[in-house]
Amino acid sequence: MKKDAIDIRWHGRGGQGAITAAKIVAKAMFQSGYEGVVMVPTFGTERRGAPVFTSLKISTEKIYDLSPIDKPDIIVVLDHVLLEEANIVDGLKEGGTIVINSPCSIDDYRFEGRKVAICDVTTLAQQAGLREGIVNSGIIGSFAKATGIIDMDLLVTAIREEFSRRRPEENAKAALLAYENTVIGG
């Protein structure tokens, strides 16, 4: 692993759009000057509803190792129920951050030595005018707020581009609402 690398692991369910979310962040990070950007989805058998994860590696230099991330700096969870089903926080670095789409209170989560960020993206996305269950644009706003590693304007531009034919304004609004309503603790 490169010294300056940021390893982000995204957890969601098949069909939930974790790959699209990671791709949007990848584009924005590349535009902000990171030359090394690699997004590695779960290989092979993605089925709707089944837990999936995708690895996003970011570095100032070209990335040569395409293997999945086992020690992430940041974990993003698109559905809080997944925390009950799989060991999602596995390998999260000391001092790392976990971003969760959850209607629960920040006090319900405790990960020793890690930062937690909570946002009810599911509800906010519907308020933004999206169909129920579309959370991949919204979670990007929470990610931006919790990590501070990327400018929100770049992300919103990348969201509008990615969803250019699928409600770009509503998706952008969902991200902005999530950005404003993310609670950080831990």
Helix axes 152-162, 138-147, angle to 10 degrees: 160
Q: Is 23 in the site for another protein (CB under 8 A)?
A: yes
Q: Name residue, tokens 């991200």.
A: 175
- The window from 34-42, 128-136, 148-156, 164-172 that contacts another protein (CB under 8 A) reads 34-42
C-alpha 107 chain-centroid distance: 21
Distance, in Å, from the CA atom of 6 to the CA atom of 114, rounded to the nearest integer, reads: 15
Looking at 14, 30, 111, 157, which residue binds another protein (CB under 8 A)? 30
Nearer to another protein (CB atom), residue 21 or residue 124: 21
Nearer to another protein (CB atom), residue 40 or residue 128: 40
Cα-based distances in Å from 2 to 7, 33, 44, 117: 10, 16, 27, 26
Q: Is 112 in the site for another protein (CB under 8 A)?
A: no
Contact track, another protein, 41-80, x by CB under 8 A: x-xxx-----------------xxxxx-------------
Nearer to another protein (CB atom), residue 39 or residue 118: 39
Q: Name residue, tokens 């509803």.
A: 49
Going by C-beta distance under 8 Å and a sequence separation of 6 or more, which residues neighbour residue 89?
75, 83, 98, 111, 114
Distance, in Å, from the CA atom of 178 to the CA atom of 139, rounded to the nearest integer, reads: 7
DSSP state of 42: P
Q: How far is the CB of 66 from another protein (least distance, A)?
A: 5
Q: Is 140 in the site for another protein (CB under 8 A)?
A: no
Nearer to another protein (CB atom), residue 67 or residue 87: 67
Going by C-beta distance under 8 Å and a sequence separation of 6 or more, which residues neighbour residue 181?
119, 120, 124
- The window from 30-38, 91-99, 110-118, 170-178 that contacts another protein (CB under 8 A) reads 30-38
At residue 170, the 3 state secondary structure works out as: helix
- The window from 35-43, 73-81, 98-106, 128-136 that contacts another protein (CB under 8 A) reads 35-43
Interaction site with another protein (CB under 8 A): 1, 22-23, 26-27, 30, 35, 37-41, 43-45, 63-67
